[in-house]
Amino acid sequence: MPIPNGFYYVGGTKDTGLVISDNPADAKYQNQEIVPADGLIGNQFVWIPVDNSSEENFNKVFQRQEGYWNGSKDSYLSFCGEANAEGENANLTETTTTQEEAKAMYASVYKNGGFYVGRYEVGKDTSGVIVIKKGTEENQVNPYNNIPWSANGQMQETTGTDGGAVEISRNFDSANNYTSVTSTLIYGVQWDAIMNFIDPNYITNATIGTPNCQDSSYVKNSQGKGNYNESQNTNTWKNQVAPCGSSDDYRMKNIYDLAGNVEEWTMEAYSDNCRVQRGGFYPAPGSSLPASMRSYNSPVGDGNDDIGFRVALYL
């Protein structure tokens, strides 16, 4: 597993979730498979392995999958499109920037056998700094929500460096002086690779003989494994987003809050006027809106305190 220049091995394994940080002081849990959230001060990422033993295996595994909704496979994937290994999106024409980004990301994942994902939802600390960490009692980190998919609130991103989930994600590497990795808003194919890392039964391609997930699987039923208020009464659940990484119960493969808390924007598009979010959100039950859930919204997205985002890195 490659440790990029400028990053430090914190702990965990390829099977339990290998954690890296951009702060050398965090390299202190190297003998532990499960890495605590407390006591770490840098931005943290987890390695997501993807089978690259052959091009055939890679193409079977690194593909978008139908998620679960209310205990059953949802029906959204057939409506969705995303820039693929050739930079092509069947639903709409992406910008040249996105096309080239997707091609570079796919090539990197194939070459290196995986990618890194933010250990937490992107958050803001009490000073307003954008970070990917839990924070402390004195300097709490809350999800960066109420944010549009792009700064212009449109289906295509701007060329700016901040203001929307896409721009902030793409600027995260330069903002933190990373020179060995490229940061992006997470792609739908990467989200599904995380789900498959958590439960290999998630891939249901018949040609590789993988069965459906069990009813108790985290990717199918995230009850009790994420911040879910489970009330549809707006007076009850309003503004109940939890701080990033608020509970170890919400950790899977050393990654926090893939289920519940805030839904997370991805690079995937639903039809030609909505972008896709994954992971459920706090007002709903985890049994119906689990970690693998796919939903969609207008790219404007502001005013929704249950929508955030997550950064991925490729080498």
pLDDT in tens, 125-156: 999 999 999 998 889 999 999 999 999 999 99
- Residue 3 in any domain: the answer is no
Number of Cα atoms under 13 Å in the Cβ half of residue 223: 10
Report residue 19 as tokens: 């954690």
pLDDT at 271: 86
H runs (alpha helix) in the chain? 55-61, 96-112, 165-175, 188-198, 234-237
Report residue 109 as tokens: 């994942």
Contact in structure between 88 and 80 (CB atoms under 8 Å): no
Contact in structure between 140 and 125 (CB atoms under 8 Å): yes
Does 6 score more than 60 pLDDT? Answer: yes
> Which is higher by pLDDT, 68 or 285?
68
Q: Which residue range(s) make up the domain with 122?
A: 8-314
Q: How far apart are the first and last CA of the chain?
A: 11
- Residue 1 in any domain: the answer is no
pLDDT at 283: 83
pLDDT at 258: 97
- Residue 2 in any domain: the answer is no
Q: Which residues pair with 251 in a beta bridge?
A: 256
Report residue 241 as tokens: 């987003």
What is the total count of domains within the chain? 1
Task: Indicate the pairing of strand 294-297 with strand 274-278.
Answer: antiparallel
- Residue 251 in any domain: the answer is yes
- Residue 301 in any domain: the answer is yes
Distance of CA 110 to the CA centre of its chain: 19
Average pLDDT over residues 235-246: 77
- Residue 137 in any domain: the answer is yes
Question: For all residues of the chain together, what is the average pLDDT?
Answer: 92
Does 231 score more than 60 pLDDT? Answer: no
Task: Give me the amino acid identity at 225.
Answer: K
Average pLDDT over residues 60-82: 92
Ranking 19-28, 72-81, 138-147, 197-206 by mean pLDDT, the lowest is: 197-206
Average pLDDT over residues 9-13: 98
Q: Name the 3-class secondary structure at 222.
A: coil
Average pLDDT over residues 189-209: 84
Give the separation between CA 257 and CA 260, rounded to whole angstroms.
Answer: 6
- Residue 80 in any domain: the answer is yes
Contact in structure between 310 and 151 (CB atoms under 8 Å): no
In percent, the amount of the chain with pLDDT more than 70 equals 94
Contact in structure between 191 and 108 (CB atoms under 8 Å): no
Label residue 305 by pLDDT band (50, 70, 90): confident
